[in-house]
Amino acid sequence: MRRLLGLVVAALVVCAGCTGGSDAKAAPTSAPDTDLTLASLDLGWRTELEPGDPPARPGGFDAETYDRMVTTLSDWAEVTTLDTSVWHGAAPVDAVGKVLSGKAGDALRRQTKDAVSPRLAVANVFADDVTVIGKPKVTTAWQVSQADDEDGKPYVVLELQTRAAYEVRLGDDGPTRVIGVLRVHGLSAYDDTTDDFGVSGGWQEFGAGDCALALDDHLVPDADLDETTSDLRTFARVGNADDVEMPDLDVDEQVDADYLKRCRDGAV
């Protein structure tokens, strides 16, 4: 079962979450008695992060600021999704902080420090005994929106979502599995903002062991292949869509303090 941890870091303004939807083709299922591989999912995605052209800049918004937001989001997404040194890193927030300027990086560090899963709040991190096989398959989507702050002052939110599918193995002789991660990276700015961006984001995993997210703050493959396959159908549908989307989850499907306690108590 997939879990969600939302992240909202307000260095400038608090930003909205993700919306959207699609009826795109889902991934095929895999037989329960076989390995689950990227090839069997036949995603057809890239092995590099190529976000493509962002949405058109909102009218009247500063072009230089918008271009800087696009570049920063692309660099941020590269680190969280494809930086191999981060996959098993002890402090991924340090790597992310290097591409987020000034107060935005500082705010990210403060906010994630108290998260239930502080490493997973900022990047795709695997357990030390999980091997990522080859390169992940990745697709992306952009979204831009406009809103007003509590004083009625307008600002722009630009988001870049990564959809990354990793083929993994637990231990030396474990079965091959696939873990999918949706991650939204968001920056917000007023028209007169220079480099003090607001930061927002969120993530969901598909096919990972649930309590490991809360107890150990890393990704390991779920032992239940049927459940993994079902989760990955939803993941593939989102990944094949043009729009940013985070599938709706019930409260009991979220990684929070209550879920952490249930994992510790063996009540999951």
Specify the amino acid at residue 184: V
171, burial (CB in 10 Å: exposed 0-12, middle 13-18, buried 19+): exposed
Structural domain count, the chain: 1
CA pseudo-torsion sign 80, 85, 86, 88: positive
Domain residue limits at 187: 4-264
Residue 197 near residue 11 (C-beta atoms within 8 A) = yes
Q: What are phi and psi of 194, to 5 degrees?
A: -100, -70
Q: Which residue has the tokens 């076989």?
A: 34
User: What radius of gyration, in Å, describes the C-alpha atoms of the chain?
Assistant: 18
Residue 78 near residue 49 (C-beta atoms within 8 A) = yes
Can you tell me the distance from the alpha carbon of 97 to that of 75, in angstroms, rounded to the nearest whole number? Answer: 11
Enumerate residue ranges in the chain where pLDDT < 70.
1-33, 249-255, 266-268
Predicted pLDDT at 268:
65
Residue 18 near residue 238 (C-beta atoms within 8 A) = no
Residue 166 near residue 257 (C-beta atoms within 8 A) = no
pLDDT tens digit string along 193-213?
877 888 988 899 999 987 787
128, burial (CB in 10 Å: exposed 0-12, middle 13-18, buried 19+): exposed
Specify the amino acid at residue 73: L
Can you tell me the distance from the alpha carbon of 186 to that of 16, in angstroms, rounded to the nearest whole number? Answer: 9
Predicted pLDDT at 4:
45
User: Within 13 Å, how many C-alpha atoms sit on residue 238's CB side?
Assistant: 29
User: Dihedral (C-alpha) 216, 221, 223, 226: value to the nearest 10 degrees?
Assistant: 130
In sequence order, what E strands does 70-153 have? 130-132, 137-148
Predicted pLDDT at 115:
81
